[in-house]
Structure formats: C-alpha cells, structure tokens
C-alpha cells in the first residue's frame, strides 16, 4: 500500500480558472491523467498540498483540428491520438509513439499535455521514500549528491516521454497560458538540461495546445522505441525521424532521441548529409553520427553499454522504415 | 475531509474522505467493494482496473482505468463499474462464466482487472483476434496462469471457440501414504 500525502483537489471549469488556481496556490501542481503525478506523489517526490485537476476542461481541450497544420488540445488522451485517423495519415510518427506508451489503461488516462510535461525519471528517484532513505537521498529530492554521475552537481534523470522525440522531429510547438497571457514556444526550446525541472514551463503556466506545422505532413517519418516488455514499460531509448526527400536524394533531416538525460536531443551537425542518396549507407552514417552525440546513463535500469551499442542499429532501422 | 459523490455500479454514494483518497481506497475501504484489488498501488499491474465513462453517457460501461492512481475527488463526474457490477440480472457475465469454464485463474488476484479489461474489449469489438486480445490485456499482469487460458477464456466468451477439453489427469495411483511411512527408518542424527 502506497499512501498519498495530504492533498486538496481543486476542480476549475476553464483554462482561466485553472491558471488562476495555480497562481493563488503557490506550489500547486497540475493533475491531468495523473498517471505520472500520482505515483510520484506516492513516492514523496513533491511537497505540494494542492492539485489543480483538469478534468473539467476536457470539453475545451480535447480536440484534434486541421488548421494549416495540426492543432491538438492538451487533454487529448494518448489512446485517442494513437487511434486518430488524421494523425495516422499526417503524422504517423506521433500516432506510433502514442500507440507504444505504457499499457491500455494508462493510455486511456494519460494525456498529451501530461506526456510532454512528464517529470524526468531515474531508477534512484522513482522509488518509495523508504527505499530512497535506505540508499541515501539524491539531488532531485531531499539529498545533495547524484547516484548516476559521481560528483555530479546536476540531476540527469531521463526524459522518458515518447511523444517528445516524435514532436521534436516534426518541429512542433506548444501553446502555454498563464495569468499573464499566452506564448507559443517551439518544442526545441521547451526542454532544459536539468533533471529537477526540465521545461521552461512556469509554475502557474498551463500547456494548452500542441501545434504541428503543415511542413511535417509531407515528411517521411517513423518512431521507434526500445523497452524490455512490449507493454507497460517506459522507454530504454526512443527515437523519431522526419526526412524530406527529392527524388532519391535527402533534402532535410530531423532526428530526435530520448531516454538519455534530462532532455530529448535533436541530433546536430548532420547538414552535410543533405544531398546524399536516401539509402542504407545514409541510414548507417546517420546512426554513427547519432551514436557520437548520445550517451546512455545508468539512470535507466537497462544496461547503458548495450543501449549505446544498439543506438546506430535502431537509427538505421528507423530511417529505412521511414524511407520504405 | 470533504463529501465526495461517487457513482458506482449504478448507485450514487456519498463518501466523506480527505482529498488524497484514491478511487481504489474509496472503493475498498469506504464502500467495502473489495473486488478491485490493490496490487502494486502505483499503476503497473492492472489489478485495480475499473471501467469508467462520463456521467450521463449511455451504452457500454466504458474504458478501463487504474483506480490506484485515480483520485476519488477527480472521479466524481464518472460512472464507475467494478467487478461487483459486472454480473447482470441474468447472472454471471459471459466473461465470468468463460473464465471459470476455462480454468483461466489460479490465485485469482489479477482476475477482477483482467475480466473488466476483457469486457471493455468485447464491448468495442465482439469478435477480436488473438493479437487484439493480447493487446487489450497487456496492461494486466498475471503471475500465475501464463496467460494462455486467459486468452482462451476471452475467445470462449466471444463465442469464437469452446473451452479446450479438460480430460481428467491420468496418473499412476500413488502408494498409500502409510505404506511408505512404515518403510521410513528412524533417522539418527
Ligand atoms: C506503469 C507506467 C508506465 C508508463 N509508461 C510510459 C511510457 O512507456 N511512455 C511514456 O511516455 N509515458 C509512460 N508513462 C507515463 C504516463 O502514463 C504518460 O506519460 C502520460 O501521457 C502522462 O500524462 P498524464 O495526463 O497522466 O500526466 P499527469 O500525471 O497528470 O501529469 C504529468 C506531469 O505534467 C504536469 N502536467 C500535466 N498536464 C499539464 C498541462 N496541461 N500543463 C502543464 N503541466 C501539466 C503535471 O503537473 C505533472 O507534473 C507510464 C506510466 C506508468 C504508471
Ligand atoms: S540522476 Fe542523480 S540526482 Fe537525478 S534522480 Fe537520478 S540519482 Fe537523483
Ligand atoms: S494496483 Fe497495480 S495498477 Fe493499480
Ligand atoms: S491468477 Fe494469480 S495473478 Fe493471475
């Protein structure tokens, strides 16, 4: 039995009421599907007393609209997106990513907004208070050191959300609303390399919408995930690619990898591969480049050396699948 | 403490509970509906699966969710079906009967969740394929059965097959225990 700390659940009926509730209760946390927040609260990871539940906003924020690009309300459930025909046709990488998140019940509960704002994960933090107290607390909560990087001063818990690499590769943006107004942030500027708080989201800010540009639609794309079991498990690595081709030649490349450290990474320094034939050799070269920029850590219980060895293999398969 | 209104198995219940009460705790410890099981209590195993639909929606019983990581206060707008509500006025649900007929259970701990996930699948898709069954039950862990009989039970409930025949196990009659006992020599340390 894992008990929750004392909590008060606030149930606003609109976005305006929700951000006002966040402002009025410093330290309050947003409760969407709760599939990440509630287990973490049970682990004693947060000192919050107030939850702002978004269920009352479901009607307002559960839409999939084609407007130029795609606009997805933050409260779309993961299951809804995995099954959505428009997504399957326009952004198959995102639909595939959603289909591979957690298990069936969790996909019905979990939301897109919650997935993008998922807290970073680590074998040393997603544990009961008793477990953590026995080992000694770490930087992320209650402690001063890191069990993953000896002498480390910054938490490197893993970004483990499967929609993040897909949406990064598709060059999506997110619309954020706070009592001060709203802003649209490109996803590639949304994540920060700090496991304690890995997004630019302010405490009183709500992610309300994901925007995917129309340019994403024509791209050859795919998503791939490495995990121990084919269901329930978080990613040990996740990757997404979006390619533009002209004839048999590569015109643009976007490759994102997650489940490494605190933020999902967009592989850089690959512009010189533009103009190459879109073939198996290109896929292999991209895999080699990606491997150099990705360092799997012991923050995930799956062997980091194996994950590192597998990375170029997965990139090659991913690219060939996108091109097929 | 606050007064929560929960709609469970067609009845409205008022429950006085603190904000941190999970739906599973409210079901088990306030409403005494102990059919929903508390396994991992953190979203991994599916033992606490219940079916929910928005209040006022008619038709099927809804989607499977995990009660252990749902807050009771946040479940007030939902109609909830637990394993206690699965049997209808005519008796056991076909899923329940099939699980019994196929011997699809051992300790039984996973069964309430397993049967509700299976019910949700058949409500959506009355003739599922084996991969669809496996996928629909992939969020329910069973440590006993090895799943084969469970998949068989769902196929039986869907009318896709009959239970595989269970001929009584034929084995050599064991020697009477007292005949053995007589041959045991005293063990001297
Ligand atoms: C056993 C298990 C396995 C899982 N496997 C996977 C997996 O394989 N892949 C994966 O990606 N995830 C996985 N998850 C995590 C989770 O189910 C999903 O990521 C889900 O989409 C999270 O959404 P949620 O609505 O439940 O988030 P919540 O738990 O409600 O919220 C998550 C975080 O985001 C914040 N938040 C939520 N919505 C908003 C918003 N609109 N604006 C601002 N902040 C917000 C919350 O305050 C919280 O900090 C798993 C979870 C469990 C329990
Ligand atoms: S990466 Fe280090 S500081 Fe962060 S949760 Fe893991 S052990 Fe703690
Ligand atoms: S008790 Fe294990 S998922 Fe709820
Ligand atoms: S019958 Fe024992 S866990 Fe499934």
Residue B185 has pLDDT above 90, yes or no: no
ipTM: 0.96
Q: Is the shortest distance between the CB of B109 and ligand 4 below 6 Å?
A: yes
Task: Return per-residue pLDDT of chain A as tens, 324 residues.
Answer: 899 999 999 999 999 999 999 999 999 999 999 999 999 999 999 999 999 999 999 999 999 999 999 999 999 999 999 999 999 999 999 999 999 999 999 999 999 999 999 999 999 999 999 999 999 999 999 999 999 999 999 999 999 999 999 999 999 999 999 999 999 999 999 999 999 999 999 999 999 999 999 999 999 999 999 999 999 999 999 999 999 999 999 999 999 999 999 999 999 999 999 999 999 999 999 999 999 999 999 999 999 999 999 999 999 999 999 999
Sheet holding A220-226, edge to edge: A220-226, A237-246, A249-258, A265-266
Exposed / middle / buried, residue A62 (Cβ in 10 Å: 0-12, 13-18, 19+):
middle
Rg over alpha carbons for chain B, rounded to the nearest Å, is 21
In three-state secondary structure terms, B28 is helix
Residue B182 has pLDDT above 70, yes or no: no
User: What homologous superfamily does CATH list for B2-85?
Assistant: Beta-grasp domain (3.10.20.30)
The domain limits of chain B are 2-85, 94-157
Q: Do A11 and B46 touch (CB under 8 A)?
A: no
**Residue A83 in tokens:** 């099954």
Question: Number of C-alpha atoms within 13 angstroms, CB side, residue A156?
Answer: 17
What's the topology of domain B94-157? DNA polymerase; domain 1 (1.10.150)
Q: Is the C-alpha dihedral spanning A83, A87, A89, A95 positive or negative?
A: negative
Percent of chain B with pLDDT over 90: 80
pLDDT at B56: 86
Q: Do A105 and B138 touch (CB under 8 A)?
A: no
The residues near B32 (Cβ < 8 Å, ≥ 6 apart) are none
- Residue B43 contacts A, CB cutoff 8 Å: yes
**Residue A174 in tokens:** 């997110």
Nearest-CB residue to A9 (from B43, B69, B71): B71
Closest Cα in chain B, distance from residue A141 (Å): 19
Alpha-carbon distance values, A321 to A38, A115, A166, A278, A279 (Å): 36, 25, 15, 12, 11
User: What does the alpha-carbon distance between residue A207 and residue A144 come to, in Å, rounded to a whole number?
Assistant: 31
- Residue B135 contacts A, CB cutoff 8 Å: yes
First to last CA, chain A: 48
User: What does the alpha-carbon distance between residue B48 and residue B107 come to, in Å, rounded to a whole number?
Assistant: 15
- Residue B20 contacts A, CB cutoff 8 Å: yes
Under 8 Å between Cβ of A57 and A12: yes
> Which residues are B51's β-sheet partners?
B64, B81
Q: Do A106 and B139 touch (CB under 8 A)?
A: yes
Q: Is the shortest distance between the CB of A101 and ligand 1 below 6 Å?
A: yes
Residues of A in contact with B136 (CB under 8 A): 104
> Which residues are A31's β-sheet partners?
A53
pLDDT band at B59; cut points 50, 70, 90? confident
Q: Which has more pLDDT, A26 or B171?
A: A26
pLDDT band at B187; cut points 50, 70, 90? low
DSSP A126: S
Q: Do A4 and B20 touch (CB under 8 A)?
A: yes
The residues near A28 (Cβ < 8 Å, ≥ 6 apart) are A10, A21, A22, A48, A49, A50, A51, A52, A203
**Residue B1 in tokens:** 């403490």
For tokens 């997106």, what's the residue? A81
pLDDT at B184: 47
């Amino acid at each position: 039995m894992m008990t929750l700390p004392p909590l008060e659940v606030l149930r606003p009926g609109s976005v305006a009421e929700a951000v006002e509730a966040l402002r009025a209760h410093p330290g309050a946390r947003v409760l969407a599907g709760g599939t990440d927040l509630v287990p973490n609260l049970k682990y004693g990871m947060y000192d919050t007393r107030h939850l702002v539940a978004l269920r009352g906003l479901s009607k307002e924020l559960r839409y999939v609209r084609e407007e130029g690009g795609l606009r997805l309300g933050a409260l779309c459930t993961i299951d809804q997106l995995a099954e959505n025909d428009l997504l399957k046709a326009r952004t198959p990488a995102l639909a595939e990513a959603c289909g591979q998140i957690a298990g069936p019940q969790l996909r019905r509960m979990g939301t897109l907004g919650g997935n993008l704002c998922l807290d970073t994960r680590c074998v040393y933090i997603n544990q009961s208070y008793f477990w953590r107290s026995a080992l000694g607390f770490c930087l992320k909560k209650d402690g001063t050191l890191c069990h993953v990087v000896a002498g480390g001063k910054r938490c490197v818990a893993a970004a483990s959300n499967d929609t993040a690499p897909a949406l990064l590769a598709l060059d999506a943006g997110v619309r954020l609303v706070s009592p001060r107004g709203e802003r649209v942030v490109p996803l590639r500027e949304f994540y920060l390399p700090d496991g304690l708080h890995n997004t630019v989201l302010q405490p009183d800010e709500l992610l309300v919408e994901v925007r995917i540009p129309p340019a994403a639609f024509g791209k050859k794309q795919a998503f791939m995930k490495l995990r121990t079991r084919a269901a329930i498990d978080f990613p040990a690595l996740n990757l997404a690619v979006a390619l533009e081709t002209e004839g048999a030649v590569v015109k643009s490349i976007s490759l994102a990898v997650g489940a490494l450290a605190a933020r999902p990474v967009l592989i850089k320094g690959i512009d010189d591969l533009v103009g190459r034939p879109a073939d198996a050799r290109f896929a292999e070269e991209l895999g080699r480049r990606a491997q150099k920029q990705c360092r799997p850590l012991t923050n995930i219980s799956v062997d980091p050396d194996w994950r590192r060895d597998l990375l170029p293999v997965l990139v090659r398969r991913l690219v060939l699948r996108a091109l097929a | 403490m606050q007064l929560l209104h929960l709609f469970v198995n067609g009845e409205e219940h008022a429950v006085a509970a603190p904000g941190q009460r999970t739906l599973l705790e409210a079901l088990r410890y306030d409403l005494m509906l102990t059919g929903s099981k508390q396994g991992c209590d953190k979203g991994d195993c599916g033992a606490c699966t219940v079916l929910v639909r928005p209040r006022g929606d008619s038709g099927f019983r809804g989607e499977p969710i995990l009660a252990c990581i749902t807050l009771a206060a946040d479940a007030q707008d939902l109609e909830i079906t637990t394993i206690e509500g699965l049997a209808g006025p005519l008796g056991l649900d076909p899923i329940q009967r099939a699980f019994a007929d196929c011997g699809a259970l051992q300790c039984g701990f996973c069964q309430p969740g397993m049967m509700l996930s299976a019910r949700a699948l058949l409500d959506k898709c009355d003739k599922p394929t084996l991969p669809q069954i496996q996928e629909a039950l992939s969020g329910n862990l069973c440590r006993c059965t090895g799943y084969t009989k469970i998949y068989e039970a769902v196929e039986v409930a869907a009318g896709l097959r009959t239970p595989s025949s269970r001929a009584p196990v034929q084995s050599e009659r064991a020697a009477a225990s007292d005949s053995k006992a007589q041959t045991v020599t005293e063990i001297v340390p």
